Every structure is written in C-alpha cells, then in structure tokens.
Homo-oligomer: A and B are copies of this chain.
Amino acid sequence: MSQRAFQDYYPAEFAHCFGCGRLNEQGHQLKSYWDGEETVARFTPAAYYTGGVPHNTYGGLIASLLDCHGAASAAAAACRTEGRTLESLPFTRFVTGTLNVVFHQPTPIDAEFEIRGTIDEVGERKVVVSLALFAQGKKCVTGTMVAVKLRQ
C-alpha cells in the first residue's frame, strides 16, 4: 500500500507507542490503513513471541495489536466522520477505554497476521471498533474496543 498509515500522522509527542509509534525504535511500528469501509493492518511476529503452547502466538501480542489498530482506527473514523483528513488540526488522539478479546482458536506464529477493524459507532467522545485477527486464512481472534478521545 502506498498511502501513509494512520499512525504516520500522529504528532511526534504521541508517536512513541511501543505498539505503533513510528518514533519507537524498539517497538512494533504497526501501520493501519483504510480498506474501503474497514481498516486493516498487517504484522508478522518474530519467532520469540511464542505463547504458552508451542507454535502458537503469545496472547499478549495479539491483544496489543488489536489495541493499537483499534485506537488508530478510532482516530481515522472520527476524522472521516467530521469530514476532515488525519492531516488536519487539531489532531485527535484516542486511547483505549475498554478492550475485550475472544480467542477462538490458536494463532499460529509462522504467519503474517491480518488485523481488520469495523467502525461500529462514532460518538462525540467515544468510538466503538470491532476487531478481528486472521492468520493462515483463519479468523483466530476477535475483539471490541471502546476508544476514548484524549482531552487536549
């Protein structure tokens, strides 16, 4: 994809998140994009992110990826609803209010993950995002996030 990711628009002050901050050199640097009405991010885990069961992925990494993709999707959805781009100011940063994760089946570690977001609701201060993580064509994990607009 050639377009800039949602996270690429975060002001430097908010761009150090371990999960998705472009200025966090040790972090995952997750990148989220629009894909029609949905949002999408892709991520290939390092082999040491194994879970408690051999060849499966550590649940914490999965929750982390859903968390960052959800918060970025919320910011993008809020801007789109307001009819403006992520480049416009003031930048709207969202943080996680609640995150619910359901592990349906083990997530293999030797795979590229596709994380998809669907915007369920855009309110004045909250955005609700449904999330799903796919690996090797299987929907392994789903989640729901309530993201809250940061007071600035």
Contacts and interface: CB of A to CB of B under 8 A. Distances in A.
Interface of A: 10, 13-21, 24-27, 48-54, 58-61, 63-65, 67-68, 71, 93, 95-103, 106, 150
Contact of A10 (B21, B52, B64, B99): B52
A61 B18 contact: yes
A26 to B, nearest CB: 4
Given A97-B103, A100-B98, A60 B50 contact: no
Give how many copies assemble into the complex: 2
Nearest to A144: B100
Given A60-B64, A61-B64, A63-B67, A93 B53 contact: yes
A103 B53 CA distance: 28
A53 B150 contact: yes
A21 B101 CA distance: 22
A49 B150 contact: no
Given A10-B52, A53-B150, A93-B52, A58 B17 contact: yes
Give the residue among A17, A52, A63 with the most B Cβ atoms within 10 A.
Answer: A52
